[in-house]
Amino acid sequence: MIDLRKIGHVGIRVPDMEKALDFYSGVFGLEISERTEGGAVYLRCGPDHHSHVLYPLGQGRLGLDHVAFEVADPEGLERAASFLKQQGVPIVSGPGPGDEPGVARSLKVLDPDGNRVELYCGIERTSRHEAKSIMPTKIGHALVKASDLARAEHFYIGLLGLKVSDRLPGVATWLRCNPDHHGGGQRP
């Protein structure tokens, strides 16, 4: 079983970076951690290097680019890669050095609908984080659309090891990887 610690971050493709930054940073209070030459902007709401990544729309599709889960250590990442490969899950990259700022090692795979899922370990943390009154304290959950709910449940529950919090049969399943209802918080 894969030992997922928490939802670490989500990547979102946006058509207008400045409008998106006005919203995520200006309205929600997320702090900018880093900007890349390719136009990506990394934002944080806690001590992790980032909790959100905004990408210019470019060649991708609008909306969710990926959801990322933190695993405990490099050995756990290697075990996850081996297990997922044995199960026939498409590997996009890794396991290897992270290709995003602040991430030591990562593994990127595709879920049954082609959504990218990243497993990573070794994220940089900062003590310079200063919470603002309107700023979220963590990423609590991510919504992933599925064309076939049973197939998606097999991937996220059967392969990644997420647990069911709630279920609306045939419509939606709420999952977690730790005691938080949606699995977004830090493990105790």
Is residue 86 one of the residues assigned to a domain? yes
d(CA 11, CA 103): 14
pLDDT at 111: 96
Indicate the pTM of the whole model.
0.89
Give the DSSP per-residue string, the chain.
Answer: ---EEEEEEEEEEES-HHHHHIIIIIIT-PEEEEE-TTS-EEEESSSBS-SEEEEE-TTS-SEEEEEEEEESSHHHHHHHHHHHHHTTPPEEEEEEE-SSTTEEEEEEEE-TTS-EEEEEEEE-B-S-----TTS-SS--------SSHHHHHIIIIIIT--EEEEEETTTEEEEESSSSSSS-SPP-
CB 118 within 8 A of CB 69: yes
Q: Which pairs from 95-103 meet CB under 8 Å and 24+ separation?
A: 98/122, 100/42, 100/50, 100/53, 101/33, 101/34, 101/36, 101/42, 101/49, 101/50, 102/33, 102/34, 102/42, 102/48, 102/49, 102/50, 103/49
| 63 found inside a domain | yes
Q: Which of 96-105, 126-135, 147-156, 168-177 has the lowest mean pLDDT?
A: 126-135
In the Cβ-directed half-sphere of 164, how many Cα atoms lie within 13 Å?
13
Assess if residue 84 is contained within a domain. yes
Of 31-40, 75-84, 124-133, 147-156, the least confident: 124-133
Domain with 55 in it: what CATH number? 3.10.180.10
**pLDDT surpasses 60 at 187:** no
Residue 71: band (very low, low, confident or very high) from pLDDT cuts 50, 70, 90:
very high
Task: Taking residues 89-103, report their average pLDDT.
Answer: 93
Residue 163 belongs to a domain: no
Q: What is the pLDDT of residue 119?
A: 97
Residue 81 clears pLDDT 80, i.e. is over it: yes
Q: Which residue has the higher pLDDT, 57 or 128?
A: 57
Domain assignment of residue 159, yes or no: no
112 is a domain residue = yes
Domain extent at residue 30: 4-137
pLDDT exceeding 70 applies to what percent of the chain?
89
Is pLDDT at 129 greater than 60 in this prediction?
no
What is the average per-residue pLDDT within 117-142? 77
- Determine, yes or no, domain membership for 106: yes
The number of distinct structural domains making up the chain is 1
Domain membership of residue 185 (yes or no) is no
